[in-house]
Amino acid sequence: MVSESRLIEEFMELVQIDSETKQERIIADRLTEKLLALGFTVIEDESSLRTGHGAGNLIATLPPNTNAPIPKIFFTSHMDTVKRGNGIKPVMDNEGWITSEGDTILGADDKAGVAALFEMIRVLQEQNIPHGQIQLVITAGEESGLMGARAMDPGLLDADFGYALDSNGAVGTIAVAAPTQARVVMEIYGKSAHAGVNPEDGISAIQVAGKAISRMKLGRIDHETTANIGKFEGGGATNVVCDYARLEAEARSLVHEKVEVQLAAMKESLENTCADFGATAKFQSVIVYPGFKFTEEDAVVQLAQRAAANLGLPNDIFHTGGGSDANIFNGMGVPTANLAVGYEEIHTTSERIHRNELINAARLVIEIVKETARQ
């Protein structure tokens, strides 16, 4: 049985450890201490050497406590938070809502997931619940673009399937699809000239960029696809026709091929516009992370739905437009669904989570382990 007071106390402890993304050293050390005390073998990988973050990912492995042929399972949460995550002072009101005092985020994204996983392990051990090998992968740099997971050696992941605890929504609901995301850099090279004396001899990169953007289909492309220009740089003195502009953009879709189609369309608009104005262009794109898509027919989803139903929790599935470490681990070939944790208004000073959702998150992962053993 979940110890509600212990779980909430540990969550309150974790959110008070400063761990803004790129500053994960202190939280990584504290989590390592806890994992070792619980009997895990812990590896901190060398991803920080490539990412520049304060710590690497923690890959913690707990051996099975039975000889029964139980599948290997893993769970993942991330240790870092977004900015305004230092000096957090959590409070719980009379209705059970946990928030910060209001000057910072709360950090339930994703320390609620971490706390639920630690409570899961304690309950499994206290009640001697049969389980196979369990891995916990606690990543650094999730909030800076899944940097830790992207830099992790796939060979360190040893599981048949797994679950991320890192989605909004009521506990029990499951994110079964998330998009592929591509990042784009577009550069426009025009021709400088004096803006007051001979502007007709110049080619304004800013003007060309504006025309190119106007020809692109952006925003909501269809029910599975979006695209956005997020940054526009260029220009200097007002008396000089600007000869260089740089755009940063993204495209994402639940269908990988649609990302490729959108990228091709954006590139075509850019190049055609530059040709019309006598400018030149450079278009660069990279897939940041792959998408994934499950249905209720997939075993990783069915197991989580059964576990939620066993506890009387909602077990609806949904598609999300955002990425998570689940994208990366699916890309490594390990089926990974993303479980809702129950936090709300993340990345803001209004972030909150209800104590009941925190408790249900722990109950759910315990039940998932039980359901895995029943297989």
Catalytic residue numbers read 80, 142
In angstroms, the CA 313 to CA 316 distance is: 9
With 0-12 CB in 10 A as exposed, 13-18 as middle and 19+ as buried, what is 63? Answer: exposed
Cβ-Cβ contacts under 8 Å for 114 (sequence gap 6 or more): 14, 31, 77, 79, 138
With 0-12 CB in 10 A as exposed, 13-18 as middle and 19+ as buried, what is 134? Answer: buried
How many degrees, rounded to 5, is the angle at CA 358 between CA 353 and CA 363? Answer: 160
Cβ-Cβ contacts under 8 Å for 107 (sequence gap 6 or more): 14, 15, 19, 81, 85, 88, 100, 351
Helix (H/G/I), strand (E/B), else coil: 90: strand
Please, are residues 104 and 84 in contact by the beta-carbon 8 Å criterion?
A: yes
Please, are residues 72 and 158 in contact by the beta-carbon 8 Å criterion?
A: yes
In angstroms, the CA 368 to CA 281 distance is: 52
Cβ-Cβ contacts under 8 Å for 198 (sequence gap 6 or more): none
